[in-house]
Amino acid sequence: SAETTQFDAVVIGSGPGGEGAAMQLVKNGRRVAMIEKYASLGGGCTHWGTIPSKALRHSVSRLIEFNANPLFTAGCGHRSMSFADILRHAQGVIQQQVQMRSGFYQRNGVTVLHGVASFEGENKLKLTQADGSVDYITTKQIVIATGSRPYRPADVDFNHARIYDSDTVLSLKHEPRSIIIYGAGVIGCEYASIFRGLGVKVDLINTRERLLSFLDAEISDALSYHLRNSGVVIRHNEEYERIEGHEDGVTLYTQSGKRLDADCLLYANGRSGNIEELKVENVGLQPNHRGQLEVSAQYQTSVANIYAVGDIIGYPSLASAAYDQGRICATAMCFGDCEQRLISDIPTGIYTIPEISSVGKTEEELTQQKVPYEVGRAHFKDLARAQISSMAVGSLKLLFHRETKEVLGIHCFGERAAEIIHIGQAIMEQKHGGNTIEYFVNTTFNYPTMAEAYRVAALNGLNRIRD
Ligand code: FAD
């Protein structure tokens, strides 16, 4: 028979958004339950998104590094790895992440319930467990952190054994010799790097004019150049007319009249919010056509005691942002309107090969806003550390105000870009004039380091103003 349990707050979804919220709510002394429909914790982030894709990429990038270095290959020749090999490493990481989470929810007193949550009322949730049994939960406040899933257009047969999305690709059974990746957003570009690194022939279909158009144009061009240089065939401005699965492969017909054949296809064009099972219409919430909910600056929906964070609220749809949204949302839930906000300049980390990271304004934005800026550049090939570690591909670009010398934007590509960016980000956030490129000139860097790129770029930029 159905039981009813009372909580102060219930968080729906155990991804980074739900985790940030639940942990902050218990720290604030609330009685918290987390509902997760899957048997293991961590959300799409841990099981199908960030964690597996980054683990796959890590193995591939080490393989590329190994094969490019005659010191390693001498005597043993080039190494190769299969998708199954690199998947094993990824699955090991997923297991560690899941275990770590179960442990800290237990230690911190978050009640974890497994099952699908749906709204019965503003303060009442129905919990349907895997065996069909039902419980009811009453609670003062609710956080929706149900995340998103790959968008699946109705005319593509995702039940076909050779047609994958970014979730199902992790169950890829056979080793493809060729793959069509449809959609050249962050996920498409990252998987293009992974498959190409394994030696798979990759066709990357971009529905837009350039890759990742939100990036500084120079960085987006560098990505196109390096992907093409590694052998990825990029086709811009193309859309599919028809995608057909066969017994031994797939065929994609483009609207421009091309026919492309490959062993398999990864459809990576857009995501939809996980909204349907929640039955939010029972509390009067109206998602948009992508299944996303609208929220206030403090993540409150139009129903006062119901909040939403993470991919379910759309942009920026990053694990990094979701966690912080959860944390800020929990503070607002406990203390009402508070000053805490997500930082305005969220860094972007894109784990292609080469890696890309940026924070702040692009050249295009500064030009449009008529800001008098200057550029300072460092090429990795000129850094001792990059030469030592064979990381010559890449550069760091600093955009700064010509008069005040404030750092306005940082754009980096090359190995470790996503780490290197945080040095500059920390300086950008300094107050009282501490956010200028002069910091990079006047401080002492460890030598040799990749971080030294900041000094080289700053000196380069200052020289341009003096010229
Ligand atoms: P999720 O992590 O999706 O978790 C939602 C959880 O809610 C799931 O476990 C789901 O089972 C559960 N749920 C859904 N409905 C219900 C229900 N009704 N009842 C109970 N439980 C429910 N972001 C980065 O910052 N860096 C990256 O490098 C990165 N790489 C990515 C690579 C890929 C391939 C993908 C797909 C995404 C990537 N992202 C990355 C994005 C990141 O994974 C998401 O932004 C993040 O997972 C969103 O977190 P979330 O908490 O909103 O939802």
Residue 206 alpha carbon to ligand 1 centre in Å: 24
Residue type, 116: V
pLDDT tens track for 306-364:
999 999 999 999 999 999 999 999 999 999 877 778 888 899 999 999 999 999 999 99
Distances (CA, A) of 366 to 360, 399, 409, 442, 460: 10, 9, 9, 26, 19
State how far the Cα of 294 lies from the Cα of 309, in Å rounded to an integer.
Answer: 10
Q: What is the number of the ligand 1 atom nearest to the C-alpha of 115?
A: 20
Crossing angle for the helix pair 186-197 and 217-229, nearest 10 degrees? 30
State how far the Cα of 112 lies from the Cα of 449, in Å rounded to an integer.
Answer: 44
Length in residues, the chain: 467
Share of the chain above pLDDT 70, in %: 99
Place of tokens 């780490």: 419
| pLDDT reported for residue 194 | 98
Residue 197 has pLDDT above 70, yes or no: yes
State how far the Cα of 210 lies from the Cα of 237, in Å rounded to an integer.
Answer: 8
427 is in an annotated binding site: no
| pLDDT reported for residue 2 | 67
Q: What is the number of the ligand 1 atom nearest to the C-alpha of 42?
A: 9
pLDDT tens track for 151-195:
999 999 999 999 999 999 999 987 899 999 999 999 999 999 999
Q: Which of 146, 275, 313, 315 to mutate to test the pocket of ligand 1 (most atoms within 8 A of CB)?
A: 146
Letter string b/e over residues 22-40, b meaning 16 or more CB atoms within 10 A of that residue's CB: bbbbbeeebbbbbbbbbeb
148 is in an annotated binding site: yes
Query: Which residue puts its alpha carbon closest to atom 46 of ligand 1?
Result: 319
> What is this structure's pTM?
0.96
Q: What is the number of the ligand 1 atom nearest to the C-alpha of 35?
A: 20
Kindly provide the ipTM of the predicted complex, given to two decimals. 0.99
pLDDT tens track for 120-159:
999 999 999 999 999 999 999 999 999 999 999 999 999 9
Confidence of residue 211 (pLDDT cuts 50, 70, 90): very high
Query: pLDDT averaged over the chain?
Result: 96
Residue 48 alpha carbon to ligand 1 centre in Å: 8
146 is in an annotated binding site: yes
Do residues 217 and 193 make contact, with C-beta atoms less than 8 angstroms apart? no
133 is in an annotated binding site: no
Q: What mean pLDDT is predicted for residues 52-69?
A: 95
Letter string b/e over residues 66-83, b meaning 16 or more CB atoms within 10 A of that residue's CB: ebeeeeeeeeeeeeebeb
Crossing angle for the helix pair 16-27 and 319-335, nearest 10 degrees? 30
| pLDDT reported for residue 391 | 84
Q: Is 12 helix (H, G, I), strand (E, B) or coil?
A: strand
45 is in an annotated binding site: yes
Helices (H), 283-353: 319-335
Confidence of residue 1 (pLDDT cuts 50, 70, 90): very low
Residue 310 alpha carbon to ligand 1 centre in Å: 8
Bridge partner list, 266 = 164, 181
Q: What mean pLDDT is predicted for residues 212-232?
A: 97
Q: What is the number of the ligand 1 atom nearest to the C-alpha of 320?
A: 25
Q: What is the number of the ligand 1 atom nearest to the C-alpha of 19?
A: 51
The tokens for 72 are: 């390693």
307 is in an annotated binding site: no
Query: Which residue puts its alpha carbon closest to atom 47 of ligand 1?
Result: 45
187 is in an annotated binding site: yes
Ligand 1-lining residues (CB < 6 angstroms):
12-18, 35-38, 43-45, 48-50, 53-54, 116-117, 145-148, 166, 187, 274, 277-278, 310-312, 317-320, 322, 349, 351
Q: What is the number of the ligand 1 atom nearest to the C-alpha of 309?
A: 52
Q: Which of 34, 36, 45 to mutate to test the pocket of ligand 1 (most atoms within 8 A of CB)?
A: 45
Residue 32 alpha carbon to ligand 1 centre in Å: 20
37 is in an annotated binding site: yes
